[in-house]
């Protein structure tokens, strides 16, 4: 009830001032979380129009557009984010998803090469992103080496094992994929629940 009242107050604020930055950001985020993707895009487009959209706003809209199956538009905004921030890892990951959806192998290869040329700050995100990009480019050995590096540096994090699971599945190695998945679940049983909820 409290959230509903807050949302109504924010909507009233927009009635008074359609360009209210605070109200637009809160409502777009709320719409994104509640899977109201059309509304999320509507609010973010207004933020872009008044030059108040930040990377998070763009990212939410990109994922909303993917959910709405508006892949071309999602691609357009993802490329804008890369222009704004050429090091944005989330957007590079999103671009790989988009180009896979479009079955554009040349563009997927181009993005993967750009990922491999990004500075490596040693974070888990960049290591796993580079592992995925390496695999897409056919560098399977390098991909697994990067995953093992991620495991050594983050032995209690399930994410490297989930990446390893995906790589094994793509190679058709189901037994190894299951072993990696079990290890991810052992480290964090909530992983299984999240995967069930995605199906």
Residues 38, 36, 189, CA angle at the centre, nearest 5°? 135
d(CA 120, CA 141): 18
Q: Dump pLDDT digits (tens) for 150-174.
A: 999 999 999 999 999 999 999 999 9
Q: What is the mean pLDDT of the chain?
A: 88
* pLDDT given at position 122: 86
Q: What is the reported pTM?
A: 0.73
Q: What residue ranges define each of the domains in the chain, with the CATH number in brackets?
A: 127-199 (1.25.40.10)
Say if CB 110 and CB 117 are below 8 A apart: no
Is residue 47 within 8 A of residue 25, CB to CB? The reply is yes
Q: What would the pLDDT profile of 31-60 be if each residue is shown by its tens digit?
A: 998 999 999 999 999 999 999 999 899 999
30, 43 Cβ separation under 8 angstroms: no
Of residues 193 and 107, more confidence is placed in: 107
CB-count exposure of residue 112 (10 Å: 0-12, 13-18, 19+)? buried
User: Long-range contacts of range 134-138, CB-CB < 8 Å, 24 or more positions apart?
Assistant: 135/167, 135/170, 136/96, 136/108, 136/109, 136/112, 137/109, 137/112, 137/113
């Amino acid at each position: 009830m409290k959230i509903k009242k807050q949302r109504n107050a924010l909507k009233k604020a927009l009635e008074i001032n359609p360009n209210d930055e605070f109200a637009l950001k809160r409502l777009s985020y709320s719409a994104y979380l509640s899977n109201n993707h059309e509304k999320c895009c509507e609010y973010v487009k207004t933020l872009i129009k008044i030059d108040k959209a930040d990377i998070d706003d763009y990212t939410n809209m990109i994922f909303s557009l993917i959910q709405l199956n508006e892949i071309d538009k999602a691609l357009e905004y993802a490329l804008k984010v890369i222009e704004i921030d050429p090091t944005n890892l989330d957007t590079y990951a999103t671009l790989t998803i988009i180009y896979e959806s479009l079955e554009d192998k040349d563009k997927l290869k181009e993005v993967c090469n750009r990922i491999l040329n990004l500075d490596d700050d040693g974070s888990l995100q960049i290591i796993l992103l580079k592992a995925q990009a390496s695999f897409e480019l056919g560098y399977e050995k390098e991909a697994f080496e990067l995953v093992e590096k991620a495991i050594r540096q983050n032995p209690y994090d399930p994410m490297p094992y989930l990446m390893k699971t995906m790589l094994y599945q793509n190679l058709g190695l189901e037994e190894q994929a299951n072993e990696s998945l079990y290890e991810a679940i052992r480290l964090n049983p909530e992983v299984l629940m999240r995967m069930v909820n995605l199906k």
